[in-house]
Amino acid sequence: MKALSEENCTKHERKEHVDGKKSSFCPAKKHCDAPTEDIESCPLLLGQPCASPSKGFEGFTHMFVQSVTIEISKFGGKPNQDIAKALTSAWAEACASTSAVKIVIPSGTYQMTHVDVKGPCKAPIEIQVDGTIKAPVKPEDVGGDQLLRIGYVNSLTISGNGVFDGQGSYAWKQNDCSKKVQCKLLGMNLGFNFINNSIVRGITTKDSKHFHVNVLGCNNFTFDGFKVTAPGDSANTDGIHIGRSTGVNVLNTQIATGDDCVSLGDGSRQVLVQNVTCGPGHGISIGSLGKYKEEEPVEGITVKGCTLKGTTNGVRIKTWPNQPGTITVTDMKFEDITMDNVSNPVIIDQEYCPWNQCSKQNPSKIKISKVIIKNIKGTSGTKEGLVLACSSGVPCEGVEISNVDLTFNGAPATATCSNVKPKITGKVPECTAPTTKKE
């Protein structure tokens, strides 16, 4: 089977093969013009991407036609035993296959230490998790900084109704980040590095020792029907942390944890967070940013149709003062969001300094622009429902606010603004200057 010629494409964009070679892709049709590879030998071109992405998902779904199924029992994976070696062996066989492969972890309870698998692989891979996978209780027994890390693959699907259980309650007691700047980072449940055109759906991550999920260097990566669960007092257990990735979607997801439900680090571009329920937790956050000189810009972030319940923050942008980072944060949209007893429902905080571990002598150097705050309703747990505390060094620009209807104890919540001149339309609390504390 040969690829279509480039003339047949009305619109195409360059994509990378996993081996680094270029190919063209026609979004309106199938893959086309693979000048150095036939479709059969090109991992990027396998899996028959659908012509029409699903609503809200600017990526690709893959049809696993005539896929080969591998159960971990083939490699000795049994309930109540460590399945790390079995899963690693199953991955090796799947990755070498020229046909699509589904790895199955059946229902049951399993133990697992650190697994680190990577591509490039020759065909799409699906991991169907129907069991509960438990990490060792003690962080030092996991054997790595993430329970399961997958990297450098295209067309990955993780599915099922299974659970990755980090058993983090013992580790949370060791967390000393509120006391030490250079604190020890405890292990995460899941890590996805440099993965393209992939989806995680249906599974649950529970009680991670540190972040539940870390997404790094990924493109067109979607979480759909995902679930994160941990107590509200589990420190530093961000639900999904995204960094240096483009086209990540978090859809139809429930997150209850002890830190940010979704956190977006530097280099996050074209990210959609839609129909997410967050709480308990610290809200949905862009940042923190500016702490390091080498950070990359953040752009094109949309948070839409979400509900936050009892969180310590709602939607926020947070940047450090008195730090070397100078990136830009632009094209942010917070729309159609419901707050239920949320402290600080909408906040731009350019004096972010957790645990007073920094100086505020110099303002943040992070430039924030083109921010839309629209259709925010519900109840605030603080009198100030809208706080825009922008940098005095690089004031916010292009901020538009419309239809913000928040109440606090039955009365309208207030708004404070500094170093920003927002455009106001519709019902919005009057934006006043913050009160200066007397020495």
Q: Alpha-carbon distance 45 to 377, whole Å?
A: 45
The two three-digit tokens of residue 25, written as one number: 């892709």
Strands (E), 106-187: 109-111, 115-118, 125-129, 132-134, 146-151, 156-159, 163-165
Set 12, 31, 62, 282: catalytic member = 282
Q: Which two tokens stand for residue 158?
A: 């993780």
Q: How far apart are CA 82 and CA 433, in angstroms?
A: 58
CA distance 371 to 334: 8
Q: Extract long-range pairs of 430-436: CB within 8 Å, 24+ residues apart.
A: 431/386, 431/388, 431/401, 434/387, 434/389
* E runs forming strands in 258-314: 262-264, 269-278, 284-289, 298-304, 307-309
**Closest by alpha carbon to 315, among 353, 268, 354, 276?**
276
Name the CA radius of gyration of the chain, rounded: 23
SS3 (DSSP) at 82? strand
C-alpha 121/C-alpha 360 separation (Å) is 48
**201 and 223 Cβ atoms separated by less than 8 Å:** yes
241 classed as catalytic: no
Q: Who's near 241: CB < 8 A, 6+ residues apart?
A: 211, 213, 214, 215, 260, 262, 263, 264, 265
CA distance to 78, 265, 302, 389, per residue, from 270 (Å): 41, 13, 8, 24
Contact (CB, 8 A) for 330 and 294:
no
Task: For residue 309, give Cα distances in angstroms to 224, 287, 377.
Answer: 20, 21, 12
CA–CA dist 287, 352 (Å, integer): 10
Give the number of other Cβ atoms within 10 Å of residue 195's Cβ.
Answer: 24
Phi and psi angles of residue 356, each rounded to the nearest 5 degrees, phi first: 55, 40
- Residues known to be catalytic: 282
